[in-house]
Each structure stands twice: as structure tokens, then as C-alpha cells.
């Protein structure tokens, strides 16, 4: 069986591994000059492979797509991904947040071992091949060094990613190609993304690139502890990403969303009020807040942004402001800056094996499918799991055909 895989990211390479291990003739095509660029970038932050939390809670992170993804994740669970990484000589550990990382805390050793395995299994990787769909005879079309390349395959697995960080390879140009073939595709939107806010010029110029540490962000009844980063255009960071789906939805419906920031989540309102009740003397408000509550300059000035330049000297009012500083968000950051994307091939446009209903023997995996999840290992886990599911289904189909 000759299989073409388009996209040499983690999804495409995992599908190639499963298929080639079973004896399939596998060629992986990618428009970039080297493979898995996004994976390598993710490795700069430690390469969060998956998460160690209980499986039911893990699956719930996928929101509306959870029922569809559950059997796929059960078939290639976090434990299977950990075993796979360790089989490549990359032992893992569980961080304090429950996230799972390779002990090397980077992607390059894992990728080198993985590519060696794929080479031994006969996988051919062809970089600098930009996919343009199919010709009138059903052959795959690629542009390579100014030439058009036609490829015939028994089956095709599409692993082209979403549209975030296009300079690393995932451009989202496949959307129009599939729609032209009758495949339902939900518009791609930024996920795990930053948001815009109308900072004052003074605040923006002084605090651009400054982190807000040890805070809690709340929106519509959900609260997330962590950090955020002030950007020139607004705010981003792990705690923001965790709320991005709900924030994006609110922005879609009303054009704005109010994100509440608790600048001292370890203290109750009463604790903050007690500390503010101490005599201030001749100290400035900023110095008083720094000494009594360890508020950094960025936090104090965020209070000025959200509650006015002249902060209230009334302790109850100031305590209330510290426990709830409202940031009015006006939009999402550009999709090419997002960690991942939402939208993609509609889940009802693929069968239970992730084959496109409109195109027999063509499968879609990973971030091309219409699911989203927060950061924390969920993105890579579902990408790997959907690739394994499609590859196994393709092998089962081939065995069934051969036995007839």
C-alpha cells in the first residue's frame, strides 16, 4: 500500500511511523525545508507532551469535541504517548502542574531519535513540496522548485495543521482546496491566543513585555491561576490562553469582554483589607502597596489603568480594586500569533475513522480537525492520537480489502 502523508509535523510523522511499521510504503511531503518546526519551537518551553490528570477530566478539556475524541484518546492515551517517548530514549517526568515533559526539556533529542526510527522503517520525507490539491486524474499536486509534481497514492493522510505561526509551515491554505472538493470546513480562528486592550500610551510604553505574576484571571465564572504578559496591543500568556475560547466567543457576540484580574489571589478580600488598614504615613500609594502587598509597579499601574490614575485611598475600595481589576478586551490577537487555531474540518465531515466523507481514502488528522483545547499537553496528545487512529483505520481497511 502506497500512502502519501502531507505535513511533516507531529501528526504526519506519527501516522508515518504507524503505517511504515506495518509495512506500508510511506512518503511524507512538506512545504518547509525541514520537518517538525513547530514541535521544535514548542520544545523551547520544555515540550509539554501531555498531562497526567485523570482521564475523564483530561477528555473534558476538549469541550464540545470531547465525545467524538474520547474513543480516539482512549485508543492512544497519555500513558501510550509517554511510553512512546520513552521508547525513543526520552524519559519523562510530571511537573508540579501535572504536565508531562521529557527530562531533556527540549524537542531536538526526541526528534532526532524519531527521524532515525522512521528512516529505518523506510519512510521517505520530501521537503520543499508545497501541496496544491489534486489534478483532474485524482493525483496529488505539488509545487517543487518551480516544477509541478504529480503523485499517485492508494491513500492520503492530511496533517497540515491550522493557521497559527505560518512561518513555521501551517498556513491554512488547505481550507479552500478542501471546500472546493465539497468538504465542510469551519472557519479557522485563533485559539490559545492573546487579546487586544486599549492601553494608555504611558502604560503601554512602560510595561510592554512585563509579566503579571501570581495572579488569577476570571471570566464568566471560571478562574485560572498563573501569569500573563502585557503586550503593546493587549495581554497574552498561559492564564489568558486557558480562558481564550470563552473570551473569543464573547467577543464574537458582543464585540468586547471584561477580564477580571485578582492581583493577590493568595489573600482573601478580608486579608487585603486588613493589610491596607495599616497606617500609610507619608508614603506614596505605590510604595505603600509595594511594601504591604508586594505589588510590583506593573500591578500598581494596572490598577491606575482600570480604576483611574488617582487610586482611591479608601481601604475597602482599594481592596476591592486589587481583588478585581477589570480589563476590557476589544479583540483577539492575529491568528498568526496564536498558539493554536480553532475551526477546521467539521467533525461530521469525517467518518469514525477520520476519513473525509466526501473523499474516500483521504484522512484528516491533528489541528486540521475542528477541535480545540487549552495548552497543557492537550494539543499534542490529540494530534498524536488522531494520527494513530487514522493510520490504524487505514491499515484495517487495507487488511479487510485484501481478505476479500
* Residue 255 DSSP class: S
The pair phi, psi for residue 46, each rounded to 5°, is 110, -10
Residue with the larger pLDDT of the pair 384 and 401:
384
Which residue in 348, 351, 371, 346 sits closest to 362, CA to CA? 351
Please give the share of the chain, as a percent, with pLDDT higher than 70: 100
Average pLDDT over residues 226-235: 96
Cβ(261)–Cβ(254) below 8 Å: no
- What's the average model confidence in pLDDT over 231-257? 95
Task: Give the pLDDT confidence score for residue 361 in this predicted structure.
Answer: 97
> How many angstroms separate the CA atoms of 106 and 314, rounded?
49
**Residue 16 pLDDT more than 80?**
yes
Reported for 344-347, long-range contacts at CB under 8 A and 24+ positions apart, including other chains, are 344/162, 344/185, 344/186, 344/188, 344/368, 344/369, 344/370, 344/371, 345/178, 345/183, 345/184, 345/185, 345/186, 345/369, 345/370, 346/184, 346/185, 346/186, 346/370, 347/65, 347/68, 347/371
Q: What is the arithmetic mean of pLDDT over 16-38?
A: 97
| pLDDT of amino acid 218 | 98
State the SS3 of 179-227: HHCCCCEEEEEEECCCEEECCCHHHHHHHCCCEEEEEEEEECCEEEEEE
- pLDDT single digits (tens) 120-174: 999 999 999 999 999 999 999 999 999 999 999 999 999 999 999 999 999 999 9
- Look over the chain and give the mean of its residue pLDDT values, rounded to a whole number: 96
Domains of the chain: 2-190+341-403 (3.50.50.60), 195-332 (no CATH)
- What pLDDT was estimated at residue 379? 97
At residue 404, does pLDDT exceed 80? no
Check if the beta carbon of residue 131 is closer than 8 Å to that of residue 6: yes
* Nearest alpha-carbon partner for 371 in 135, 100, 60: 60
pTM equals 0.93
Amino acid at each position: 500500500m502506497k500512502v502519501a502523508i502531507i505535513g511533516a509535523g507531529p501528526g504526519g510523522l506519527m501516522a508515518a511511523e504507524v503505517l511504515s511499521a506495518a509495512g506500508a510504503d510511506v512518503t511524507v511531503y512538506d512545504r518547509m525545508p525541514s520537518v517538525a518546526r513547530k514541535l521544535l519551537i514548542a520544545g523551547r518551553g520544555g515540550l509539554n507532551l501531555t498531562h497526567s490528570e485523570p482521564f475523564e477530566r483530561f477528555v473534558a478539556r476538549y469541550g464540545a469535541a470531547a465525545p467524538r475524541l474520547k474513543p480516539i484518546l482512549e485508543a492512544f492515551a497519555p500513558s501510550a504517548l509517554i511510553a512512546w517517548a520513552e521508547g525513543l530514549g526520552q524519559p519523562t517526568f510530571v511537573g508540579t502542574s501535572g504536565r508531562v515533559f521529557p527530562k531533556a526539556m527540549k524537542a531536538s533529542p526526541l526528534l532526532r531519535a524519531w527521524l532515525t526510527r522512521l528512516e529505518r522503517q523506510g519512510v521517505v520525507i520530501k521537503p520543499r513540496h508545497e501541496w496544491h490539491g489534486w489534478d483532474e486524474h485524482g493525483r496529488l499536486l505539488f509545487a517543487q522548485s518551480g516544477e509541478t509534481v504529480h503523485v499517485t497514492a492508494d491513500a492520503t493522510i492530511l496533517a497540515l495543521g491550522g493557521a497559527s505561526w505560518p512561518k513555521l509551515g501551517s498556513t491554512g491554505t488547505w481550507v479552500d482546496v478542501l471546500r472546493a472538493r465539497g468538504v465542510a470546513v469551519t472557519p479557522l480562528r485563533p485559539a490559545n491566543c492573546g487579546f487586544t486592550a486599549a492601553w494608555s500610551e504611558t502604560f503601554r510604553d512602560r510595561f510592554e513585555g512585563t509579566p503579571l505574576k501570581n495572579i488569577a484571571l476570571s471570566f464568566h465564572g471560571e478562574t485560572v491561576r498563573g501569569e500573563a504578559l502585557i503586550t503593546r496591543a493587549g495581554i497574552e500568556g498561559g492564564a489568558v490562553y486557558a480562558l481564550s475560547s470563552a473570551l473569543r466567543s464573547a467577543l464574537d457576540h458582543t464585540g468586547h469582554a471584561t477580564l477580571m484580574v485578582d492581583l493577590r489571589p493568595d489573600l482573601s478580600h478580608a486579608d487585603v483589607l486588613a493589610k491596607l488598614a495599616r497606617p500609610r504615613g507619608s508614603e506614596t500609594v505605590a510604595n505603600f502597596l509595594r511594601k504591604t502587598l508586594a505589588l510590583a509597579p506593573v500591578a500598581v499601574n494596572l490598577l491606575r489603568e482600570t480604576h483611574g490614575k488617582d487610586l482611591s485611598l479608601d481601604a475597602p475600595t482599594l481592596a476591592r480594586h486589587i481583588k478585581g481589576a477589570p480589563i476590557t478586551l476589544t479583540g483577539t490577537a492575529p491568528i498568526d500569533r496564536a498558539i493554536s487555531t480553532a475551526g477546521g474540518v467539521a467533525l461530521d465531515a469525517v467518518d469514525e475513522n477520520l476519513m473525509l466523507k466526501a473523499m474516500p481514502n483521504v484522512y484528516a488528522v491533528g489541528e486540521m480537525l475542528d477541535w480545540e483545547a487549552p495548552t497543557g499537553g492537550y494539543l499534542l496528545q490529540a494530534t498524536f492520537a488522531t494520527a494513530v487512529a487514522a493510520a490504524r483505520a487505514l491499515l484495517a481497511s487495507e487488511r479487510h480489502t485484501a481478505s476479500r
